[in-house]
Structure 1
Amino acid sequence: MRAVVLVGGEGTRLRPLTETIPKPLLPLMDRPSLDHVLDHLARHGIHEVVLSSPYLESTFHDFIEARRGDPAITWITEPEPLGTGGAIVNAMGQLGDEPFLALNGDILTDLDLTAMAAFHRERRADATIALHPVEDARAFGLVPTGPDGRVLEFREKPEEPVPGDVNAGTYVLEPGALAEWAEGGNVSIERRIFPALIEAGRRVFGFVTDSYWLDIGTPDTYLRAHFDILEGKVEGERYPAPFVADGAVVDLRAHLGRWVVVGAGASVGPGAEIDDSVLHAGAVVEQGAKVVGSILGPGSVVGVGATVIGSALAASARVRPGASVRGARISAGGEAPEG
């Protein structure tokens, strides 16, 4: 089975982190987040992957060159943003005539793709949608299924917190199910294609799973993804907690809490305190500074004695010595005022 991974999201909710780094290439632990997605596919026997994106291939050139392994990657640049459905249709020429996987590239999951593909075959489905149960569906919308697992409808996001199954952004699709949209164009698979297939009586099934699943779409969920990996919640991902990458320097007089990631080449000075935070490659936390619940982009600097709480610093951003910032979003190369 082949797969298409959608990597075209602009990551607007993750700004300023995505001002200089495409969302799929944001570091997750010690590697780009897309690396984790591709490794997960390889573990389930997916050896050929199409990456579909409106980004130019040159943006991902170094990443693709560094992979050079399993799965083999084919890049497709969308002529314009095509939406989730249009991007999948645009990639179908590279996917053959067999059922294929399609998934969003900004999701961290240990979903059993092998079991999902078997479920799809057993049900003789036209489309199978991975569904994840949540306690509060307001951020997602609901996807109810019948007793046989057949999807009944796609409901809009509820106004009140209600439990239910939500779309987990991973699909097994028959090429023929998308024939109506073969001419391409911008179309959403969630808002247009799946509802149209259901209305036409096509065999659309939900594969309900309680596997780990997280949409890495905001700074809060980005942090949570790291903490969940450190806690061992994600199958196939094993890191010590705290995690200090090779080449990072942490002074023996500094304090690192358990839920901390320090990227390659980052440095933490004497007396500094880091808790519940992620430091990207080359980030610097100077003497006596305090960082809590924050993300420090590559090459960013937290000055001597500064305090950073619940904030996100883009690449090369600076918090001046003695400054105190809370809930800040500092753009690439920007500075926080002195405290």
Structure 2
Amino acid sequence: MQTVVLAAGEGTRMRPLTASRPKPMLPVADRPLVAHTADAAVDAGASRLILVVGYGADAVRSYFGTEYRGVPVAFAVQDDQRGTADAVRAAATELDDGPFVVLNGDALYDTPSLERLYASGPAVGSFRVDDPSAYGVLVTDEAGEAGDVADEGEGPRVTGVIEKPADPPSDLINTGAYHFPGEAQAWLDVGESERGELELTDVLERTCGAFDVRAVAFERWLDVGRPWELLAANEWKLGELSTRIDGAVHDDAVLDGTVVVEDGARVRSGVVIEGPALVRENATVGPNAYVRGATVVGEGATVGHAVEVKNAVLMEDATVGHLSYVGDSVLGRDVNFGAGTKVANLRHDGADVRLTVKGERVSTGRRKFGVVVGDGTKTGINASLNAGVVLSEGARVAPGEIVTRDR
């Protein structure tokens, strides 16, 4: 099945992590986010991948090349990010006349659910959420049980979709994964929506009018649009790893649970790592460091003496100096935390930590969440960073400073 993967967006809700690279190329466990989408597609039956690129296109091209896991890869360029229908229209010259699947390159899908989407006729992936008002909600007839993922039969017939309704007709949302008939290629020239974008949901609406479109229930799915969802994505994928020790681990180190130490990585004496955890190529941990929770120590990153890192992502070449604590946080590339830097990850009132996304302070839905730090940021010794603080790319924190607001 020919498959279009949408990977052109900048990812403004993920800033500052996307200031210098596209959101689909952010790290999730041992590969970029979009590579997990591509892997699920290949496992589900993709015969060809067409990646739609735009912002940071060279990074995506360089990673995938012309073939990925034995599947041919082509690229289509969306010069201006005008919406999902426009993105698929950019890929149309690479499609043959047959049916095609469309997936978001910034979402995670479980393979069995995606296999059902590929094996179906015209269909859209569906998922049940507690609060559907923030999503596109599918309108269906009364036949079928889309919520029963154990049922391999058809789900309900989809008759339309309502974007972010104040009064949702159901809790069944659109995952942005579609199996379109070949005829839908002629319907990609849509008008602008109220948001000023060319929406693929308009193509879905027209397809529903001409075909029997079914809702395929997804057992597991994650839209990775904001920094705390990047943490959730890493928690998911780290949980799927198996222990592998290719690097150097000191005899005095203790590895408990699922831990991967890649070739060239070094775990020094006195270190305790409680998995799931991934220590990537050429990274160094310790001596006497404590790494726990779903943690990624990125390529070339350093966790110093007596440092505790919990449920966090340290990207390439990030350094957390000795006597520091980092919890439930995302640190960008080349970040350098001075000795004694401490991250708070819990509010005193016990409420969910809030974070600034596109200028608006919103709840992360997490009782514990630390900080988001852009590439190249440096802190001085004994700096303190409050829960929910965002430090922009290249920010500076003075020695002993207490940071309670974004910088």
Using structure 1 for the length normalisation, give the TM-score.
0.88
Q: Is the contact made by 1:111 and 1:209 (CA closer than 8 Å) also made in structure 2? A: no
1:119 match:
120
Pairs aligned (count): 327
* Distance in 2 between residues matched to 1:173 and 1:61, nearest whole Å: 25
SS at match of 2:49: strand
Residue 177 in structure 1 maps to residue 196 in structure 2:
no
Measure, in 2, the Cα distance between the counterparts of 1:56 and 1:260. 26
Is the 1:57–1:75 Cα contact (8 Å) retained in structure 2?
no
RMSD: 2.6
Tell me which amino acid in the other structure corresponds to 1:313: V
> d(CA) in 1 for partners of 2:235 and 2:73?
29
For 1:65-104, list aligned pairs within 5 A.
65=65, 69-104=69-104
1:151 paired to 2:158: yes
Partner amino acid for 2:392? S
Deviations 1:32-82 (A, max 9, x none): 112211122221231311111233643434213496543221111124324
Percent sequence identity is 30
1:248 deviates by 1.2
Q: How many Å separate the matches in 1 of 2:58 and 2:236?
A: 32
1:229 alignment counterpart? 237
User: Does the 8 A contact of 1:92 with 1:175 survive in 2?
Assistant: no
Q: Deviations over 1:217-264 (max 9, x none)?
A: 00111101111223349xxxx965122123211103111112211111
Aligned partner letter, 2:341:
A
Residue type at the aligned position of 2:396: E
Matched, 1:141 2:132: no
What residue identity is the alignment partner of 2:371? S
Q: What TM-score comes out, normalization by structure 2 length? A: 0.74
Shifted more, 68-77 versus 25-34: the winner is 68-77
Q: Structure 2, unaligned stretches of length 5 or more?
A: 145-155, 242-258, 261-274, 345-369, 402-407
Sort the Cα spacing of 1:163 and 1:285 in 2 relative to 1 into closer, same or farther, 3 A. Answer: farther
- Partner deviation per Cα, 1:66-108 (whole Å, 9 max, x = no partner): 9654322111112432411121122122121111111110001
Report the equivalent of 1:308.
343
1:295-334 CA distance string (max 9 Å, x none): 1111111110011241111111112211111222112221
Which residue identity does 2:119 align to in structure 1?
A
Higher RCO (CA-CA < 8 Å; seq separation 6+): 1
Unaligned runs of 5+ in 1: 121-126
Q: Which residue of 1 aligns with 2:11?
A: 11
- Choose from 166, 173, 186 the match for 2:173: 166
Deviations 1:199-230 (A, max 9, x none): x45432211222x2100100111101111223
What amino acid maps onto 1:195 in structure 2?
A: E
Q: Distance in 2 between matches of 1:83 and 1:161?
A: 23
Among candidates 200, 203, 216, match of residue 212 of structure 2: 203
